[in-house]
Amino acid sequence: MVRSPNDYRTDVWVDWCPGCGNYGILAALYKAFAELQLDPTNTVIVSGIGCSGKTPHFVKVNGIHTLHGRAIVFATGIKLANPTLTVLVHGGDGDLLGIGLGHFIALGRKNLDIKVMLHDNRVYGLTKGQASPTLSKGLKTKSLAQPNILSSLNPIALALVSGYTFVARGYSMLSEHLKNLIVAAIKHKGSAFIDILQPCVTYNDIHTPEYYRKRVYFLEEEGWSPKVEEGNEIDKMFNAIRKSFEVERIPIGIFYQNTFKQTLEESYGQRIPSYLKTLPPWQKILKDDGSPIFDDTLFEKMFNEYIVKVEKS
Protein backbone atom coordinates (compact mmCIF):
# COMPACT_ATOMS: atom_id res chain seq x y z
CA MET A 1 0.00 0.00 0.00
CA VAL A 2 1.35 3.39 -1.00
CA ARG A 3 0.57 6.06 1.56
CA SER A 4 -0.38 9.54 0.42
CA PRO A 5 0.06 12.65 2.56
CA ASN A 6 -3.63 12.40 3.35
CA ASP A 7 -3.19 8.98 4.84
CA TYR A 8 -1.18 10.57 7.65
CA ARG A 9 -4.07 12.82 8.64
CA THR A 10 -6.18 12.00 11.69
CA ASP A 11 -9.75 13.16 11.94
CA VAL A 12 -8.99 15.34 14.93
CA TRP A 13 -10.02 18.92 14.18
CA VAL A 14 -6.98 21.15 13.87
CA ASP A 15 -7.59 23.95 16.33
CA TRP A 16 -4.80 26.38 15.48
CA CYS A 17 -5.78 29.96 14.62
CA PRO A 18 -6.63 30.48 10.98
CA GLY A 19 -3.49 31.54 9.15
CA CYS A 20 -1.11 30.12 11.78
CA GLY A 21 2.28 29.05 10.48
CA ASN A 22 1.79 25.65 12.11
CA TYR A 23 -0.47 24.61 9.22
CA GLY A 24 2.47 24.86 6.86
CA ILE A 25 4.58 22.72 9.17
CA LEU A 26 1.84 20.11 9.37
CA ALA A 27 1.45 20.00 5.60
CA ALA A 28 5.19 19.59 5.15
CA LEU A 29 5.18 16.79 7.70
CA TYR A 30 2.43 14.84 5.90
CA LYS A 31 4.30 15.20 2.63
CA ALA A 32 7.63 14.20 4.13
CA PHE A 33 6.13 11.11 5.73
CA ALA A 34 4.48 10.13 2.48
CA GLU A 35 7.65 10.68 0.53
CA LEU A 36 9.51 8.41 2.94
CA GLN A 37 6.53 6.05 3.19
CA LEU A 38 7.04 5.96 6.94
CA ASP A 39 5.36 3.10 8.73
CA PRO A 40 2.99 4.83 11.18
CA THR A 41 3.36 2.04 13.71
CA ASN A 42 7.10 2.52 13.72
CA THR A 43 7.09 6.30 13.82
CA VAL A 44 6.61 8.42 16.92
CA ILE A 45 6.01 12.13 17.26
CA VAL A 46 6.76 13.38 20.73
CA SER A 47 5.69 16.89 21.61
CA GLY A 48 5.83 19.34 24.46
CA ILE A 49 3.19 21.82 25.55
CA GLY A 50 2.12 24.81 23.51
CA CYS A 51 0.26 25.37 20.28
CA SER A 52 3.06 23.36 18.70
CA GLY A 53 2.56 20.59 21.23
CA LYS A 54 -0.72 19.60 19.64
CA THR A 55 0.97 18.43 16.46
CA PRO A 56 0.91 14.65 17.20
CA HIS A 57 -2.87 14.57 17.48
CA PHE A 58 -3.13 15.65 13.86
CA VAL A 59 -0.79 13.02 12.50
CA LYS A 60 -1.61 9.37 12.12
CA VAL A 61 1.57 7.95 13.55
CA ASN A 62 2.20 7.23 17.21
CA GLY A 63 1.90 10.48 19.12
CA ILE A 64 3.07 11.21 22.62
CA HIS A 65 2.09 14.64 23.85
CA THR A 66 4.19 15.17 26.95
CA LEU A 67 5.09 18.00 29.32
CA HIS A 68 6.23 21.53 28.74
CA GLY A 69 9.90 21.39 27.82
CA ARG A 70 10.32 17.65 28.23
CA ALA A 71 9.51 16.15 24.85
CA ILE A 72 13.17 15.52 24.09
CA VAL A 73 13.72 13.43 27.19
CA PHE A 74 10.62 11.32 26.76
CA ALA A 75 11.77 10.80 23.18
CA THR A 76 15.22 9.84 24.45
CA GLY A 77 13.79 6.93 26.45
CA ILE A 78 11.53 5.88 23.61
CA LYS A 79 14.40 5.82 21.15
CA LEU A 80 16.97 4.21 23.41
CA ALA A 81 14.56 1.41 24.28
CA ASN A 82 13.77 0.83 20.63
CA PRO A 83 16.40 2.28 18.31
CA THR A 84 14.54 1.21 15.16
CA LEU A 85 11.75 3.72 15.75
CA THR A 86 11.71 6.95 13.76
CA VAL A 87 11.35 9.58 16.47
CA LEU A 88 10.49 13.23 15.94
CA VAL A 89 10.14 15.93 18.55
CA HIS A 90 7.90 18.93 17.99
CA GLY A 91 8.16 21.83 20.39
CA GLY A 92 7.83 25.55 20.66
CA ASP A 93 10.60 28.02 21.26
CA GLY A 94 9.52 28.47 24.85
CA ASP A 95 9.34 24.75 25.23
CA LEU A 96 12.63 23.70 23.68
CA LEU A 97 14.77 26.76 24.33
CA GLY A 98 13.23 28.11 27.54
CA ILE A 99 12.05 25.57 30.08
CA GLY A 100 13.59 22.63 28.23
CA LEU A 101 16.89 24.19 27.23
CA GLY A 102 19.05 21.79 29.22
CA HIS A 103 17.55 18.82 27.38
CA PHE A 104 17.98 20.55 24.04
CA ILE A 105 21.70 20.91 24.65
CA ALA A 106 22.04 17.44 26.13
CA LEU A 107 20.51 15.83 23.07
CA GLY A 108 23.22 17.38 20.91
CA ARG A 109 25.85 15.84 23.15
CA LYS A 110 24.19 12.47 22.82
CA ASN A 111 23.82 12.55 19.05
CA LEU A 112 20.90 10.20 19.54
CA ASP A 113 18.94 9.74 16.32
CA ILE A 114 16.02 12.05 17.12
CA LYS A 115 14.74 14.86 14.89
CA VAL A 116 13.86 18.05 16.67
CA MET A 117 11.43 20.45 15.00
CA LEU A 118 11.38 23.88 16.58
CA HIS A 119 8.17 25.79 15.94
CA ASP A 120 9.89 29.15 16.17
CA ASN A 121 7.23 31.84 16.46
CA ARG A 122 9.22 33.97 18.92
CA VAL A 123 6.32 34.08 21.36
CA TYR A 124 4.61 31.82 23.82
CA GLY A 125 1.54 31.13 21.72
CA LEU A 126 -0.66 29.08 24.00
CA THR A 127 -0.17 31.34 27.02
CA LYS A 128 -1.13 34.37 24.97
CA GLY A 129 1.92 35.92 23.49
CA GLN A 130 4.66 36.44 26.07
CA ALA A 131 8.22 36.86 24.78
CA SER A 132 10.01 33.64 23.94
CA PRO A 133 13.77 33.01 23.99
CA THR A 134 14.01 33.76 20.26
CA LEU A 135 12.49 37.25 20.47
CA SER A 136 15.16 39.95 20.16
CA LYS A 137 15.75 42.45 22.90
CA GLY A 138 13.79 45.66 22.60
CA LEU A 139 11.03 44.24 20.42
CA LYS A 140 7.47 44.64 21.53
CA THR A 141 5.13 42.15 19.96
CA LYS A 142 1.44 42.74 20.16
CA SER A 143 0.60 41.42 23.57
CA LEU A 144 3.67 42.46 25.50
CA ALA A 145 3.13 45.12 28.11
CA GLN A 146 6.69 46.36 27.70
CA PRO A 147 9.39 45.74 25.10
CA ASN A 148 11.30 42.51 25.58
CA ILE A 149 14.02 43.11 28.16
CA LEU A 150 16.05 39.96 27.46
CA SER A 151 18.35 39.16 24.58
CA SER A 152 17.40 36.38 22.25
CA LEU A 153 19.43 33.28 21.68
CA ASN A 154 20.46 31.88 18.37
CA PRO A 155 18.99 28.39 17.99
CA ILE A 156 21.16 27.40 15.03
CA ALA A 157 24.41 28.36 16.74
CA LEU A 158 23.26 26.72 19.93
CA ALA A 159 22.43 23.47 18.15
CA LEU A 160 25.80 23.52 16.42
CA VAL A 161 27.87 23.97 19.55
CA SER A 162 25.71 21.46 21.39
CA GLY A 163 26.72 18.79 18.94
CA TYR A 164 23.69 18.26 16.67
CA THR A 165 24.97 16.64 13.54
CA PHE A 166 22.22 17.96 11.28
CA VAL A 167 21.26 21.61 11.64
CA ALA A 168 18.85 23.37 9.34
CA ARG A 169 16.36 26.20 9.16
CA GLY A 170 13.08 26.11 7.31
CA TYR A 171 10.17 28.40 6.87
CA SER A 172 6.66 27.18 7.46
CA MET A 173 5.22 29.08 4.52
CA LEU A 174 7.63 27.38 2.14
CA SER A 175 6.16 24.01 2.75
CA GLU A 176 7.83 22.13 -0.11
CA HIS A 177 11.28 23.33 0.94
CA LEU A 178 10.49 22.49 4.55
CA LYS A 179 9.32 19.05 3.48
CA ASN A 180 12.69 18.46 1.86
CA LEU A 181 14.46 19.49 5.03
CA ILE A 182 12.33 17.14 7.11
CA VAL A 183 13.04 14.29 4.72
CA ALA A 184 16.76 15.01 4.90
CA ALA A 185 16.63 15.24 8.70
CA ILE A 186 14.84 11.91 8.99
CA LYS A 187 17.31 10.29 6.63
CA HIS A 188 20.20 11.65 8.65
CA LYS A 189 21.57 9.38 11.34
CA GLY A 190 22.02 11.33 14.57
CA SER A 191 20.52 14.28 16.42
CA ALA A 192 18.92 16.58 13.88
CA PHE A 193 17.51 20.03 14.39
CA ILE A 194 15.32 22.20 12.20
CA ASP A 195 14.58 25.74 13.29
CA ILE A 196 11.24 26.34 11.61
CA LEU A 197 10.30 30.01 11.25
CA GLN A 198 6.63 30.03 12.07
CA PRO A 199 4.51 33.15 11.98
CA CYS A 200 2.09 33.42 14.88
CA VAL A 201 -0.59 35.53 13.30
CA THR A 202 -2.35 36.15 16.57
CA TYR A 203 0.43 37.34 18.86
CA ASN A 204 3.43 38.18 16.76
CA ASP A 205 2.83 41.24 14.62
CA ILE A 206 6.51 41.70 13.85
CA HIS A 207 7.60 38.37 12.43
CA THR A 208 4.81 38.15 9.95
CA PRO A 209 4.75 36.38 6.59
CA GLU A 210 5.64 39.77 5.04
CA TYR A 211 8.62 40.10 7.32
CA TYR A 212 9.95 36.75 6.27
CA ARG A 213 9.07 37.09 2.60
CA LYS A 214 11.40 40.08 2.39
CA ARG A 215 14.28 38.43 4.16
CA VAL A 216 14.33 34.73 3.59
CA TYR A 217 16.75 33.28 1.04
CA PHE A 218 17.93 29.77 0.22
CA LEU A 219 21.37 28.69 1.33
CA GLU A 220 21.59 26.18 -1.47
CA GLU A 221 21.09 28.93 -4.04
CA GLU A 222 24.24 30.59 -2.81
CA GLY A 223 26.27 27.46 -3.25
CA TRP A 224 26.38 26.63 0.46
CA SER A 225 27.77 23.18 1.14
CA PRO A 226 26.79 22.00 4.58
CA LYS A 227 28.37 18.57 4.53
CA VAL A 228 31.38 17.86 6.65
CA GLU A 229 34.11 16.05 4.80
CA GLU A 230 36.78 14.22 6.70
CA GLY A 231 38.91 16.76 8.55
CA ASN A 232 36.97 19.98 8.02
CA GLU A 233 34.43 19.65 10.82
CA ILE A 234 35.60 22.75 12.69
CA ASP A 235 35.71 24.95 9.60
CA LYS A 236 32.26 23.85 8.55
CA MET A 237 30.89 24.49 11.99
CA PHE A 238 32.46 27.92 12.31
CA ASN A 239 31.16 28.94 8.91
CA ALA A 240 27.70 27.73 9.82
CA ILE A 241 27.76 29.61 13.10
CA ARG A 242 28.80 32.80 11.33
CA LYS A 243 26.04 32.28 8.80
CA SER A 244 23.48 31.80 11.55
CA PHE A 245 24.07 35.34 12.78
CA GLU A 246 22.74 36.90 9.57
CA VAL A 247 19.51 38.64 10.48
CA GLU A 248 18.74 41.17 7.84
CA ARG A 249 18.70 38.46 5.22
CA ILE A 250 17.62 35.16 6.73
CA PRO A 251 19.20 32.03 5.30
CA ILE A 252 17.15 28.85 5.18
CA GLY A 253 18.29 25.37 4.24
CA ILE A 254 20.78 22.93 5.71
CA PHE A 255 23.51 24.78 7.62
CA TYR A 256 25.55 21.81 8.67
CA GLN A 257 25.60 18.05 8.41
CA ASN A 258 28.15 15.71 9.87
CA THR A 259 27.79 12.02 9.16
CA PHE A 260 31.01 10.97 10.83
CA LYS A 261 29.91 11.00 14.44
CA GLN A 262 28.80 7.89 16.19
CA THR A 263 25.22 7.97 17.47
CA LEU A 264 24.42 7.17 21.06
CA GLU A 265 22.65 3.98 20.10
CA GLU A 266 25.71 2.91 18.12
CA SER A 267 27.93 3.63 21.11
CA TYR A 268 25.73 1.49 23.33
CA GLY A 269 25.63 -1.17 20.64
CA GLN A 270 29.38 -1.26 20.57
CA ARG A 271 29.53 -1.75 24.32
CA ILE A 272 26.60 -4.14 24.56
CA PRO A 273 26.56 -6.34 21.47
CA SER A 274 23.11 -7.83 22.06
CA TYR A 275 21.47 -4.39 22.30
CA LEU A 276 21.08 -3.88 18.58
CA LYS A 277 20.72 -7.59 17.81
CA THR A 278 17.52 -8.21 19.70
CA LEU A 279 15.71 -4.98 20.44
CA PRO A 280 15.12 -4.50 24.16
CA PRO A 281 11.29 -4.64 23.95
CA TRP A 282 11.51 -8.03 22.31
CA GLN A 283 14.10 -9.49 24.61
CA LYS A 284 12.78 -12.34 26.66
CA ILE A 285 12.57 -11.59 30.36
CA LEU A 286 10.28 -14.41 31.44
CA LYS A 287 9.43 -17.96 30.60
CA ASP A 288 6.01 -19.16 29.56
CA ASP A 289 5.10 -20.07 33.11
CA GLY A 290 5.74 -16.51 34.29
CA SER A 291 9.01 -17.25 36.01
CA PRO A 292 11.98 -15.05 35.17
CA ILE A 293 14.59 -16.22 32.69
CA PHE A 294 16.83 -16.37 35.73
CA ASP A 295 16.85 -19.43 37.90
CA ASP A 296 18.85 -20.06 41.02
CA THR A 297 21.87 -21.28 39.06
CA LEU A 298 21.94 -18.36 36.65
CA PHE A 299 21.52 -15.98 39.54
CA GLU A 300 24.52 -17.46 41.30
CA LYS A 301 26.61 -17.31 38.20
CA MET A 302 25.76 -13.74 37.33
CA PHE A 303 26.14 -12.39 40.85
CA ASN A 304 28.99 -14.63 41.86
CA GLU A 305 30.98 -11.71 43.28
CA TYR A 306 28.31 -11.16 45.95
CA ILE A 307 28.09 -14.78 46.95
CA VAL A 308 30.26 -16.26 49.62
CA LYS A 309 30.71 -19.99 49.83
CA VAL A 310 30.83 -20.92 53.46
CA GLU A 311 33.90 -22.91 54.39
CA LYS A 312 33.08 -26.21 55.94
CA SER A 313 34.70 -26.42 59.33
Partner 1 sequence: MWDNISLLLGGPQGSGLESSAQVLSKAFARLGYGIFADREYFSNIKGRHSYIHMNVSSRRHPISLSYPVQILCAMDAETVFTHFQDVEENGVIVYDVSTLSTRSSTIPSIEPKLRERLKAYFSELGLSDTIQSLIRYLRSVKKIRFVGLDYPKILSEISQKFTLNPGQASRYLSSIIVGSVVGLTGLKLDAVGYALASRFAGRQQLIEHNLFIIEYVSETVREGFRILYELEPSKIGLEKMLVASGNDIVAMAKIVGGLRFQSYYPITPAADESFTLETFERLEVEGESLGSLIVTQTEDEIAAIASAIGASLSGVRSATSTSGPGFSLMVEALGYAGQIEAPVVITYYQRGAPSTGQPTRGGQSDLLFTLYASHGEFPRVVLSSGDHLEAFYDTILALNLSEKYNVPVIHLLDKFLANSIATTPLPEIRKVVIDRGKTVFEKPDFKRFDLSRPISLRAFLGSNTIQWAAGDEHDEFGHIDEDPLNRREMYEKRMKKIEIMDSEIPSENRCMFFGQDGVKLVMVGWGSVKGAALDAIEAMKAYGVRCGYLHLKMFSPFPTEYVKSILSKFRPENLVAVEHNYLAQASKLVTQNTGILVEKSIVKYTGRPIYVNELVRALNRVLEGERRVVLEYGA
Query: Residue 191, interface with Mg ion (CB under 5 A)?
Result: no
Sequence letter at residue 255: F
Angle at 49 between CA 185 and CA 204, to 5 degrees: 85
Query: Residue 290, interface with partner 1 (CB under 8 A)?
Result: yes
Query: Residue 125, interface with ligand SF4 (CB under 6 A)?
Result: yes
Burial label for 165, CB within 10 Å (0-12, 13-18, 19+), is buried
Q: Considering Cα of 209, then 215, then 220, then 226, what sign does the dihedral take?
A: negative
Query: Residue 152, interface with ligand TPP (CB under 6 A)?
Result: no
Q: Rounded CA gap, 210 and 215, in Å? A: 9
Q: Rounded CA gap, 175 and 17, in Å? A: 18
Question: What phi and psi, each to the nearest 5 degrees, are found at residue 82?
Answer: -140, 85
237 DSSP 8-state letter? H
> Which parts of 37-76 interact with ligand TPP (CB under 6 A)?
49-52, 68
Identify which of residues 53 and 251 has a Cβ nearer to ligand SF4 in the complex: 53
- Which helix (H) or strand (E) element contains residue 86? strand 86-92
Identify which of residues 247 and 298 has a Cβ nearer to partner 1 in the complex: 298
Residue of the chain from 77, 151, 218, 262 that contacts partner 1 (CB under 8 A): 77
Query: Residue 131, interface with ligand SF4 (CB under 6 A)?
Result: no
126 binds, among partner 1, ligand TPP, Mg ion, none (CB under 5 to 8 A by kind): ligand TPP
Nearest CA-CA partner of 49 in 64, 65, 30 = 65
> Which parts of 197-236 interact with partner 1 (CB under 8 A)?
none
195 to 234: interface string for Mg ion, x by CB under 5 A: ----------------------------------------
Query: Residue 98, interface with Mg ion (CB under 5 A)?
Result: no
Q: Considering Cα of 18, then 20, then 24, then 27, what sign does the dihedral take?
A: negative
Query: Residue 124, interface with ligand TPP (CB under 6 A)?
Result: yes
Query: Residue 93, interface with Mg ion (CB under 5 A)?
Result: yes
Residue nearest to Mg ion (CB): 92
Question: Cβ contacts of residue 274 below 8 Å, gap of 6+?
Answer: 283
Sequence letter at residue 276: L
Q: Which stretch binds ligand SF4 (CB under 6 A): 14-22, 34-42, 142-150, 168-176?
A: 14-22
41 DSSP 8-state letter? G
Residues in contact with ligand SF4 by CB under 6 A are: 16-17, 20, 22, 51, 121, 125, 200-203
Residues in contact with Mg ion by CB under 5 A are: 92-93, 121, 125, 132
Residues in contact with ligand TPP by CB under 6 A are: 49-52, 68, 92-95, 119, 121, 123-127, 132
